[in-house]
Structure 1
Amino acid sequence: MTALTMDAYHFFRAWMRDPLRVASVTPSGKALADLIVREIGPETGRVIELGPGTGVFTRALLRRGVAEENIVLVEMGAEFAALLQQRFPKAQIACTDAARIARFCAAPAGAAISGLPLLSMRPEKVFAILAGTFARLGEGAALYQFTYGLRCPVPRAVLDRLGLSAVRVGGTLRNVPPAFVYRISRKG
């Protein structure tokens, strides 16, 4: 069985167990992975990845030149966390809910990327995830979030309360389903 087939198998099993947590029956494709990391490189320093699943975006970070030891993977699913530990042994892996990121990631990061299904979460949970993430991001750093929806997956009230703005940086039809990426950053 190829790695791609195994990833699809792991993803489908996780989706069957908890469709709202996983939110897709298949992992993201290479086109989306390349889009979400295109503004990130070795000069970024530490990168936090929320909900890495099987590591599609993690591999894209490595292709962009980010050192594996500069990647922090925050994955709630135990089976995905174990798979990530095998695939990326130099990365820091926190098997926890992303809303608790402030407890597990001490050093400031230059960027964060997210594969979390924010559209299926309550606004309070989205607020906790973003507040914790931005508490760990350095000045000028951004969170890159993808969505299958046609607008930003972070409610306007959450953005405003945290002093954040969101800008769509691109989209791809070469993903199943098609997806868009937003850069979320501090205002000003």
Structure 2
Amino acid sequence: MTNTASDTLLFLRSWLTKPLEVAAIAPSSTRLAAAMTTEISRYTGDVLELGPGTGIFTRALLQNGVRQDQLVLVERNPAFAALLRGRFPEATLIEGDAQHLRLPATRKIGAAISGLPLLSMPRQAVRDILEAVFRHLANDGCLFQFTYGPRCPVPAALLEVLRLEASFLRWVPLNLPPASVYQLSRRPA
């Protein structure tokens, strides 16, 4: 299903073309993929994945029992989108920007995972993305986000405005670079 060497080459070409869009020096590791998806199973419901890239998190979701037809993949890089379309033909693939995400009202999302480089994005873009994600998430749904930074990539003031809370879940030292995983959820009423 995967070709690690060709995935790495595609990743590096994309990084060289648009370094701030890719915003990583290497593809995510299987350890980070496991850390990002460990809370999600086929019982979670539909899963939204932002910035799936070459599909490392997508494969981890499938290993957790999530079916392809439960996946909504949002990828704006045309090369990554073409790769994903071939690898996961039963998934819903949206080739576009997560900032403008619109799903049918009938599509209920149980969880979301994000490989987006929030730290390199303008604050308004981050706000638009979070609003779009939480508009489609079930009330008890969570967004799982990783970062290479020392703290949550969503500023506390923005979490406050959006009535969200962030919880540190785990550190993944054996990723290049090391990463931290956070869970974002709605604040209790």
Instruction: Give the TM bin, normalised by the shorter chain.
Output: over 0.9
Is 2:57 the counterpart of 1:43?
Answer: no
- Counterpart in the other structure of 2:134: 134
Aligned residue runs from structure 1 range 143-158, under 5 A: 143-158=143-158
The DSSP-based 3-state class of the residue aligned with 1:36 is: helix
Q: CA deviation at 1:12?
A: 0.4
Change (3 A) 1:153 1:105: farther
Task: Give the ranges of 4+ consecutive aligned residues of structure 1 lying more than 2 Å apart after TM superposition.
Answer: none
Q: CA deviation at 1:91?
A: 0.3
TM-score, normalised via structure 2 length = 0.96
Structure 1 gap segments, 5+ residues each? none
1:58-92 deviations in Å (ceiling 9; x for gaps): 00000000011000000010110010000000000
- Counterpart in the other structure of 2:8: 8
8 Å contact from structure 1 (residues 46, 70) kept in 2: yes
**Counterpart of 1:181 in structure 2: which amino acid?**
V
Give me the identity figure in percent: 49
Q: How many residues align?
A: 186
RMSD across aligned positions (CA) = 1.0
Structure 2 gap segments, 5+ residues each? none
TM-score, normalised via structure 1 length = 0.97
8 Å contact from structure 2 (residues 25, 176) kept in 1: no
**Counterpart of 1:90 in structure 2: which amino acid?**
E
- Counterpart in the other structure of 1:19: 19
- Counterpart in the other structure of 1:33: 33
1:19-56 deviations in Å (ceiling 9; x for gaps): 11000132100000000001000110100000000000
- Measure, in 2, the Cα distance between the counterparts of 1:185 and 1:136: 13
**Counterpart of 2:76 in structure 1: which amino acid?**
M
**Counterpart of 1:148 in structure 2: which amino acid?**
Y
Q: CA deviation at 1:104?
A: 3.8
The DSSP-based 3-state class of the residue aligned with 2:124 is: helix
